[in-house]
Structure 1
Amino acid sequence: MKLSLPSMSDLSDSNPILPIVIVPLDGGRQQEQLRQEQKDTLADLRHWQIEEFLRQTGKAENTQRSYRQQLKKFACWCNKSWLDVTASDLGKYRTQLKQQGLKPTTINHALDTLRSFYQWLRRSNGYPVNQPLPTDAIGKERVEEPQALDIDKDDMAEIWHFLDDRQRPTGIRDRAIVAILSHGLRASELSALDVKHWNGKRLLVHRSKGQNVSEVPLSREARQHLEAYLEWRRSVGGIFTPTSDRPMFLCQDPKHCGERLGYNGLYKMVKKLAATATIEELKPHHFRHSFGNTITRAGVDPLYGKELMGIKTDKVYRRYTQGSLKLAAAQAYLRAIGEDEGNNEQPEEN
């Protein structure tokens, strides 16, 4: 039997011969490694720009922490360079934040952080001048007007009734803390106080926002509470001795005894105070709001009020005094129509 072999033309028509490509065994791995290195370089550059933004703008420590968190959160969500981010990207990010159920104020804070960052990027020649910023087209969420956060007379009376319990081991310290919080200091500012910042009449307060320093005079009652606490520390001695370089307020629990009372410790102290005094919600910042309303009702010039509270803008100051302003507006109207007789409401004492 005679066998016939297929011709080359038959092979090419029916069974085409594919070209042989030699691929290095580690070629795919090298390409993947290159792509990963490019991603890492992009991430490093974006994070470096975040840190440079915080360094150059000189924000307060708490503000820096918040800004860093917001910017890194967006950088993880959007894997683009800052120059490649579009208004559409920001719109999608905003939608996702809303879908997460975040409050409008929280969403606005995230967008304001990005807006501040991009404005800095342009000022530092990191963004083309002839191109609109991606944040220019993004508006804010509508936010309800915040309610007044000052502490009413009855709640303040309950607080001091609890503080007058002489059996509490931290009673002397806590009375001094509440007395000073009631002079408009932020919790972080109170925590940062050292003994040397007290001259017997005024506190030298290093403001946590704006990097300025204010002299805050204390009332006679507050001076007495603070001096009583310092005298107690002298009597105890040791790590509690109030030398000038020591923190003003110290922890007294066994684990952190003698250490500076930080914000968390101060926050817990106030929350415990609220629970004991049966106050629904009480935070250190509420004392600051109460101080703003107190000095407004007492007729203190807003210029002086802002200095006492370490506030720079009228807009921010109004947030702390809106309760008094609304009350004053209502009283002005009643006087105008002759129905203000018998209103003997007096300014609250600090």
Structure 2
Amino acid sequence: MNHNTDYLPAIKLIPLDGESSLKIAGIRTTKTSTPTDIRLVKVQEFLRSNNLAPNSRKLYERELKRFLAWTQLHYHELRPRHLGQYKEYLRDEVQTDAGKPLSKSSINAGIAALKSFFKWMCYTYPELVTSNPTLGIKLEKVPLPPAQSLTIEQMQRVWSALDLLGETKQRDTALVHILSHGLRAGEVVQLNVGSFDGKLLFLPDTKTDEPRLVPLRKESREVVAEYLQWREQQGEVLTSDSPLMISHHASYKGDRLSYHGIYFAVEKIGELADIEDLHPHQFRHTYATELLLLGVDPSHARKLTGHQSEKAFRRYTLRSEQEAAIAAYYRAIGEEVE
């Protein structure tokens, strides 16, 4: 038998989908596309499975991708020491666009995203991640930010600004009344007509995954009811599944008001009220502060606002305690509290 290589058949590799053929030294081979990082697939699944507000989703995605770029280890290979090293990396090497080190709050945002992700991984894929590598990683100690509550005078300007609106007046008035009862913008988006029973708002989907009932003031109940009546007068057929807040944008008219739509509406109201950078969450801060100034028990107030963390709610109790101390001082010296 002749073993001369001239008589050997040419080597032929059959390319798979997504691959291109190359010739190297007379041998046909293939160039494969970059394989998908299976770790990123889990991150995307995590983001889809959580009820995250758009801004929170973007933050989590950014921080988790940053972590994946830092290490090539698979999730089951990670240990607490690796997470400790990553925290040092965030603190010592990562810089902002302005070339400054990350703030403690930014470092905490990165660590918090990892803690949330690995908690989900341990629950969803216990055979893949048997122990949470983030449990021993502590967050940086940062002072609690003050509540961004609106003053009485600012709220008066908001109510006055609503009268200056045109087509969106009815909707935006109802929107501000709802926001001023402590709802997050993402929670307002999910509200249906059936969520309002004439007195209470029922929130089945919240940030803490716990349903919540929110009682509305008499004036607010009437405003929301009038808004729904106005929509029916415009010819809309309302059902329990109809969105409670609808868009007036030319491209989405009649559709559910989006998260960004709420921010845009509030921003416009802020311009009319001459309040710089007004955003929906300020109404939530104002509501929580008002509850405590009215003397509502903090545990009841937390139930109404849907705060899971007692520490996060502490910013509001500080304000009410300060106000109570000031009032006690004036009473003690015989002066009237203004």
1:192 to 190, 193, 201: 190
**Is residue 276 of structure 1 aligned with residue 276 of structure 2?**
no
Aligned 8 A contact 1:59 1:209 in 2: no
What SS does the corresponding residue of 2:94 show, helix, strand or coil? helix
Q: TM-score, normalised by structure 1?
A: 0.76
Aligned 8 A contact 1:61 1:208 in 2: no
Aligned 8 A contact 2:185 2:280 in 1: yes
**Higher Rg:** 1
- Corresponding residue for 1:162? 161
Aligned 8 A contact 1:234 1:241 in 2: yes
Higher normalized helix content (fraction of residues): 1
Separation in structure 2 between the aligned mates of residue 28 and residue 89 of structure 1, nearest angstrom: 43
Q: Deviation of residue 292 (structure 1)? A: 0.5
What SS does the corresponding residue of 2:291 show, helix, strand or coil? helix
Q: Deviation of residue 157 (structure 1)? A: 0.7
Q: Deviation of residue 144 (structure 1)? A: 3.7
- 1:14-55 Cα offsets, whole Å, 9 max, x none, are xxxxxxxxxx7389977x86xx87xx36x21x1244356567
Q: Deviation of residue 211 (structure 1)? A: 1.5
Separation in structure 1 between the aligned mates of residue 181 and residue 107 of structure 2, nearest angstrom: 31
**Is residue 228 of structure 1 aligned with residue 226 of structure 2?**
yes
Q: Deviation of residue 121 (structure 1)? A: 5.2
Aligned positions of 1:1-350 closer than 5 A: 25=25, 40=35, 43-44=37-38, 46-51=39-44, 59-62=50-53, 63=56, 66-82=59-75, 83-84=77-78, 86=82, 87-98=84-95, 100=97, 101=100, 102-118=102-118, 124=126, 126-127=128-129, 133=133, 136=136, 139-165=138-164, 168-237=166-235, 240-332=236-328, 334=329, 338-339=332-333, 341-344=335-338
Query: Relative to structure 1, is the Cα distance of residues 120 and 340 closer, same or farther in structure 2, using a 3 angstrom cutoff?
Result: farther
Separation in structure 2 between the aligned mates of residue 126 and residue 53 of structure 1, nearest angstrom: 15
Q: TM-score, normalised by structure 2?
A: 0.78
Q: Deviation of residue 125 (structure 1)? A: 5.2
Aligned-pair Cα RMSD in Å: 3.0
Separation in structure 2 between the aligned mates of residue 286 and residue 65 of structure 1, nearest angstrom: 21
Query: Relative to structure 1, is the Cα distance of residues 128 and 231 closer, same or farther in structure 2, using a 3 angstrom cutoff?
Result: closer
Q: Deviation of residue 184 (structure 1)? A: 0.8
Query: Relative to structure 1, is the Cα distance of residues 75 and 188 closer, same or farther in structure 2, using a 3 angstrom cutoff?
Result: same
Separation in structure 1 between the aligned mates of residue 25 and residue 303 of structure 2, nearest angstrom: 70
Query: Relative to structure 1, is the Cα distance of residues 291 and 76 closer, same or farther in structure 2, using a 3 angstrom cutoff?
Result: same
| Count of matched residue pairs | 304
Query: Relative to structure 1, is the Cα distance of residues 134 and 214 closer, same or farther in structure 2, using a 3 angstrom cutoff?
Result: closer
- Counterpart amino acid of 1:151? L
Unaligned runs of 5+ in 1: 1-23, 345-350
**Residue identity (%):** 31
Unaligned runs of 5+ in 2: 1-23
